[in-house]
Structure 1
């Protein structure tokens, strides 16, 4: 349980912020002046923090944070902000994390107690299994498995037709020459992607849209376009011949073309360290990626959470904390994605660190993963005893005990996380978790050689 003595660091609190503006605004509220009735649950009680924050109106904003939420911290605030967490929740957590007595352990006031009781009652009901004699609800697949089978067959037929059409379009492109891709513009690719959406193959549609951006990606684009076309052709052929594939690879192909699957693997119970959390967004959706590391199993798991455009996903876990929970893996030959199941403890401070490997072992690991899933952009890797060093116009992580190094991705070079990593290292070896692929290594979290908290780099 989150006890009063187990306060988060400011870094872990700020990792929950939905954007840079919220981090800045929340930091300004991390002082006692605007707060009243601030308090937190005492030792042995489920973790919660609450307080009243003076705003521009006559009434202060009522802010409560439930640190023991089943899907990560949960927030409520009477302010009109649509961000989660809002600046008041961030400021309150930062004030609490300082541990200077500004947020003492005390009894919950009525307004905080009411919200916490309602929320936890709702979570308890969600965790209760359905009654054995209640039967499936109307419209459920279990109510009519034959209808579900026919729907799956019809969708498979549509995907097959879409894959066959895409094969013809790729053949036309190569027959006419790659130079023509630069003059046809993005419209042709978008129209082809729309056809894949009609075929109910969103995975194929996404890869086609990526093809459309290659001709404008700078020098060397014909080589990159040919590589991407080859991977798309391989995926098409994998779908068309899926019955001949091993089950693990067939499941990967189904996932890559866009067929959703449930996390039906056996639940893995472990103490999970939150390795990293970051968001990517487009015009329609915000996707949050959460990486976990199991202390007992050594497994690495990826949790995905989604939010509508302009809203942060609900699932949030502070980097560097650990919780005991169950996760269930999704099917696939090289599948890190999992679903968060029952959470047995809230996130709490820990000295745990993931096991690390050398840069050479990381390269071998990525090669092995590509054998089972050729469409992998990257794999999660923790590098041990590496030093960030400049390399011409870029940077690399050099193995402190060998003569190998991994280049950092160009996208990471423009982020503040690069300088946090350099400052943390100071020329000495550090342990770094990140994603490693054909574009290089993207650091996400780092730990100093001496005992110290995790430093988020994304």
Structure 2
């Protein structure tokens, strides 16, 4: 199939959808009826989709082969979603019907121009990244002075926040419900002014706790303690070991570029999901290195209402380089050069028991006390409904029944949980997810003996 690589499954395509409406709309366009002049070659797919207007929509997808700059989409429709329903529909057609999207063709001029421009930008970006750091920094001294001024503002903000936390505790945690959310938002705004977005985000989370139901004073006290710990760590950062100091800078929100030698591996895409607030959409992509045994987290961001550009199909694996970000226990990495088209993953990563998952989370907290959860793969676990093990919610139990992990709040309301239950059928499955102090959030699963990744999102 020349350089086109493997055709994806429908599930892998739908995992790229920015939301449920896009998923449903794209599914309706995944048939040959509305498409014409479709084809694929050299890690690209293109076609014309008949719409409500007189002219068809021009849709082209770069599936992310070597030297392409990764997965990308272009469509002449006015949608602000990324990918749009036409891109999803064309990928679904490509995945299901080789005769409707034949391989080995030549892209039309409008598709070829976009592909050439995109790959030229990727080549230029790669050459710039390979240059010496001194050449990329126009004025190192000016950059140092800007960093010092920002550090001073963050220090002033952290000092002010310490005083506000002290006032809160002096007045009593139980009284925190009276001022409402406005006081917290005003404090968060002060942290934004201090150029400490990480502190601002944690303050906003504090503001939501008093209305979160029974037991909120205990949760508020716990989060205040973590915020106090982060404040004090920033104020004493020069006395910390460098890996921990780098973690503190990242948690406070000081921009830090990736560092260290890149790690080339066959990276298996385990999960991809978005979270959004009023200003930003954050995409998280979990990877596992088949040779290195390392887990890695890719982050990408989009303005409010727009999906981030970076997208990788769950269940496939890519031969690529990742450059880690500094910090103790930090799993975040930057995606670098890719060396081939995505291929099917051979199966789940090595897994362990629920006990081993809890031990791993405990170890990660030594390096990063503010970590909400860490990636783990559980082998041979069974979904257990509320009440069967004495708990109030769903749990994942080892087959020997000695220990069960509670599902994180909200997991039971996801349609993916019922997909996990159906996949299990009362028997053991392998599950990948995030394990933290709120419980276990399942993200992907595998049946025994099957290499197919089933997304639970």
Query: Do these two structures clear the TM 0.5 threshold for a shared fold by scoring above it?
Result: yes
**RMSD over aligned Cα atoms:** 1.9
- Does the CA contact (< 8 Å) of 1:18 and 1:312 recur in 2? yes
1:149 is matched with which residue: 134, 144, 152? 144
1:66-85 correspondence runs (5 A): 66-68=62-64, 70-85=68-83
- Does the CA contact (< 8 Å) of 2:6 and 2:342 recur in 1? no
**Count of residue pairs the alignment pairs up:** 450
Alpha-carbon deviations, 1:242-273, whole Å to 9, x = none? Answer: 12211111111111111111101210000000
Instruction: Give 1:370 deviation, angstroms.
Output: 1.1
State yes or no: 1:337 paired with 2:332.
Answer: yes
Give unmatched runs, 5+ long, in structure 2.
Answer: none
Matched residue, 2:397: 398
Matched residue, 1:174: 169
- Partners of 2:130 and 2:317 in 1: CA distance: 33
Matched residue, 2:14: 14
- Does the CA contact (< 8 Å) of 2:57 and 2:75 recur in 1? yes
Q: Determine helix, strand or coil for the equivalent of 1:58.
A: coil
- Does the CA contact (< 8 Å) of 1:2 and 1:68 recur in 2? no
Matched residue, 2:115: 116
- Does the CA contact (< 8 Å) of 1:2 and 1:348 recur in 2? no
2:90 is matched with which residue: 92, 96, 101? 92
- Does the CA contact (< 8 Å) of 1:271 and 1:295 recur in 2? yes
Give unmatched runs, 5+ long, in structure 1.
Answer: none
1:315 is matched with which residue: 295, 310, 315? 310
- Partners of 1:21 and 1:123 in 2: CA distance: 31
Residues 449 and 372 of structure 1: CA distance in aligned 2, closer, same or farther (over 3 Å): same
Instruction: Give 1:93 deviation, angstroms.
Output: 0.8
Matched residue, 2:440: 441
- Partners of 1:131 and 1:279 in 2: CA distance: 31
1:59 is matched with which residue: 55, 60, 85? 55
Q: Determine helix, strand or coil for the equivalent of 1:346.
A: coil
Residues 336 and 170 of structure 1: CA distance in aligned 2, closer, same or farther (over 3 Å): same
- Partners of 2:224 and 2:130 in 1: CA distance: 50
- Partners of 2:240 and 2:419 in 1: CA distance: 45
Residues 368 and 87 of structure 1: CA distance in aligned 2, closer, same or farther (over 3 Å): same
State yes or no: 1:426 paired with 2:421.
Answer: no
2:184 is matched with which residue: 185, 189, 194? 189
Instruction: Give 1:133 deviation, angstroms.
Output: 10
2:193 is matched with which residue: 181, 198, 201? 198
Instruction: Give 1:110 deviation, angstroms.
Output: 2.4
State yes or no: 1:282 paired with 2:277.
Answer: yes
Matched residue, 1:246: 241
The runs of 4+ residues in structure 1 deviating greater than 6 Å are 130-135
Residues 216 and 396 of structure 1: CA distance in aligned 2, closer, same or farther (over 3 Å): same
Residues 154 and 415 of structure 1: CA distance in aligned 2, closer, same or farther (over 3 Å): same
1:199-278 correspondence runs (5 A): 199-278=194-273
Matched residue, 1:326: 321
Residues 351 and 3 of structure 1: CA distance in aligned 2, closer, same or farther (over 3 Å): farther
Q: Determine helix, strand or coil for the equivalent of 1:26.
A: helix
Matched residue, 2:382: 387
- Partners of 1:456 and 1:32 in 2: CA distance: 26
Moved more, 393-402 or 259-268: 393-402
Matched residue, 1:48: 44
Instruction: Give 1:402 deviation, angstroms.
Output: 4.9
Residues 132 and 117 of structure 1: CA distance in aligned 2, closer, same or farther (over 3 Å): closer
- Partners of 1:85 and 1:341 in 2: CA distance: 22
Alpha-carbon deviations, 1:317-368, whole Å to 9, x = none? Answer: 0001000000000111110000001111122223242111110000011111
Q: Determine helix, strand or coil for the equivalent of 1:179.
A: helix
- Partners of 1:152 and 1:126 in 2: CA distance: 25
Q: Determine helix, strand or coil for the equivalent of 2:322.
A: strand
Residues 192 and 380 of structure 1: CA distance in aligned 2, closer, same or farther (over 3 Å): same
Instruction: Give 1:166 deviation, angstroms.
Output: 1.3
